[in-house]
Structure 1
Amino acid sequence: MSFNAMNVLLVEDDRDLAASVADYLALEEIDVDHAYNGQAGLTLACSGHYDVLLLDLMLPRMDGLTLCEKLREQGIDTPVLMLTARDTLDDKVAGFRAGTDDYLVKPFALEELIVRIQALAKRRSGQVRKLQVADLILDLSARQAERAGQTLKLTPSGWTLLETLMRSSPSVLSKRELEQALWPDDAPDSNALKVHLYHLRQQVDKPFDQALIHTLPGQGFVLKAKG
Structure 2
Amino acid sequence: MHVLLVEDDAVLADGIRRVLQGHGMAVDVVHTGTEADWVLGHSQVAVVVLDIGIPGIDGFEVVRRLRARGSNIPVLLLTARDAIQDRVHGLELGADDYLVKPFATPELVARLKALVRRSNPKPAELQVGRLTLDPFAKRASVDGQPIELSAREWAVLEYLMQQASRVVSKQQIIDAILPWGEEMTLNAVEVYVSRIRLKIADAGVAIRTIRGFGYMLEKADTP
Which TM class, normalised by the smaller chain length?
A: 0.5 to 0.7
Task: Give me the whole-angstrom Cα distance separating, in 2, the residues matched to 1:118 and 1:102.
Answer: 12
Q: Deviations over 1:148-168 (max 9, x none)?
A: xxxxxxxxxxxxxxxxxxx99
Higher relative contact order (CA 8 A, sep 6+): 2
For residue 46 of structure 2, what is the aligned residue in structure 1?
51
1:121 and 2:94 matched: no
Corresponding letter in the other structure for 1:15: A
1:102 aligns with 2:67: no
Matched, 1:32 2:31: no
CA offsets per residue over residues 51-84 of structure 1, 9 Å max, x none? 1100000011110000000000001110000000
C-alpha contact (below 8 Å) 1:11/1:41 kept by paired residues: yes
SS in 1 for 2:20: helix
**Number of residue pairs the alignment of both structures matches:** 132
Secondary structure class of the residue paired with 2:118 = coil
Q: How does 1:135-174 map to 2 (within 5 A)?
A: none
- Normalised by the size of structure 2, how large is the TM-score? 0.54
- Give CA-to-partner distance per residue, 1:34-65, whole Å, 9 cap, x none: 10100101111121111110000001111000
> Which residue does 1:42 correspond to in 2?
37
Find out whether 1:87 has 2:87 as its counterpart: no
Letter in 2 for 1:85: A
In structure 1, stretches of 5+ residues that fail to align are 1-5, 126-166, 175-221
The two structures have a TM-score, normalised by structure 1, of: 0.53
Residues 133-182 of structure 1 show CA distances to partners (whole Å, capped at 9, x for unaligned) of: xxxxxxxxxxxxxxxxxxxxxxxxxxxxxxxxxx99xx7599xxxxxxxx
Displacement over 3 Å in runs of 4+: 171-174, 222-227
**Cα offsets for 1:65-107 (capped at 9, x unmatched):** 0000000000111000000012332111100111110010000
Query: Identity of paired residues, percent?
Result: 38
Cα distance in 2 between the residues matched to 1:109 and 1:54: 14
User: Structure 2, unaligned stretches of length 5 or more?
Assistant: 127-161, 168-223
The verdict on how the C-alpha distance between 1:37 and 1:226 changes in structure 2, with shifts beyond 3 A counting, is: same
SS in 1 for 2:62: helix
What RMSD, in angstroms, separates the aligned Cα atoms of the two structures?
2.6
